[in-house]
Amino acid sequence: MSGLMRIFAAICSQHMHLSWRSGQTMLAVSFLFIAITLLPFGLGPELKLLRALAPGLLWVVLAISLLTGLERLFQADYEDGTLDRLLLVPLAFEAVVLAKLLGHYLALVLPLILAVPLAGLLLNIEAARLPVLLAAMLCGSPALVLLGGIGASLAVSVRRGGLLTVLIAMPFYVPVLIFGAAAGRAGLETGVAVGPYLGILAALSAASLLLAPFAIAAALRSALR
């Protein structure tokens, strides 16, 4: 492994460790199951209605779980001066940003996606239909992290800017939630093609991967001036 790759892996690993140590992962997974447990009480005992709404509900709960952790994505590093030091490492700042986002994805999003099958069963989704929902979330969740990173970087200089971060990130989330919920609904119906929805979600993630690191890096540099 080259020196640059070791630096990239170290930044990613450090962010994962900090997320686990601070309890963000446990908090996000706990919120997911608390929300899924309470939803049937609000929707009533109609299982068909619960099953029909389940894909959209799971995507919304996933998005809210991610929004709760956005504030600390760059905020702690900004406050303690770590971001200033990261500008000095022999690695493009865009790659540093990407390493932190990858660590955030592995520490927070991946455990949430692994918890989705159990959450889906609690919402009356048949086990045979769960792989489509998982595939949709694997295709679309990178876009949620990358686009959420833009909101976090724009609000990084605002003390206690959690609400501002959410307000900035939410509009970016709307297309992903629309096509993610549509893919989940298509997966519950027989004979409905899911491929186009998965392709759109993958395209959104790919476009976010190409553009978001540069936008985030520019916003962070501006905040550090």
* pLDDT attached to residue 207: 94
Q: What phi and psi, each to the nearest 5 degrees, are found at residue 174?
A: -55, -50
Rounded Cα distance between 32 and 63, Å, is 10
Taking the alpha carbons of 80, 83, 87, 89 in that order, is the dihedral positive or negative? positive
* pLDDT attached to residue 160: 67
Rounded Cα distance between 122 and 82, Å, is 42
In this prediction, residues 133-140 reach a mean pLDDT of: 90
Using the predicted structure, report yes or no on whether residue 166 has a pLDDT greater than 60: yes
Closest CA to 91 of 153, 23, 2: 2
Residues near 115 by Cβ (< 8 Å), separated by ≥ 6?
29, 32, 33
CB 148 within 8 A of CB 71: no
Using the predicted structure, report yes or no on whether residue 1 has a pLDDT greater than 60: no
Q: Which tokens sit at 54?
A: 């389940």
Q: Residue 172, Cβ neighbours under 10 Å: how many?
A: 19
Rounded Cα distance between 67 and 54, Å, is 20
Using the predicted structure, report yes or no on whether residue 2 has a pLDDT greater than 80: no
- Give the number of domains in the chain: 1
pTM of the predicted protein model:
0.89
CB 123 within 8 A of CB 36: yes
Q: Which tokens sit at 86?
A: 């990261």
When pLDDT is cut at 50, 70 and 90, the band that residue 161 belongs to is low
Rounded Cα distance between 225 and 220, Å, is 9
Helical H segments across 81-224, by residue range = 82-86, 93-104, 110-122, 130-154, 162-188, 195-224
Output DSSP code: residue 127: G
- State the residue for tokens 């956005």: 70
Q: Report the chain's terminal Cα–Cα distance, integer Å.
A: 33
Burial of residue 42 (number of CB atoms within 10 Å: 0-12, 13-18, 19+): exposed
Q: What pLDDT digit, counting tens, does each position of 73-124 carry?
A: 888 788 888 888 888 888 888 999 999 999 889 988 888 888 888 888 878 7
Rounded Cα distance between 45 and 124, Å, is 11
- Per the structure, the complete domain to which residue 35 belongs is given by 3-224
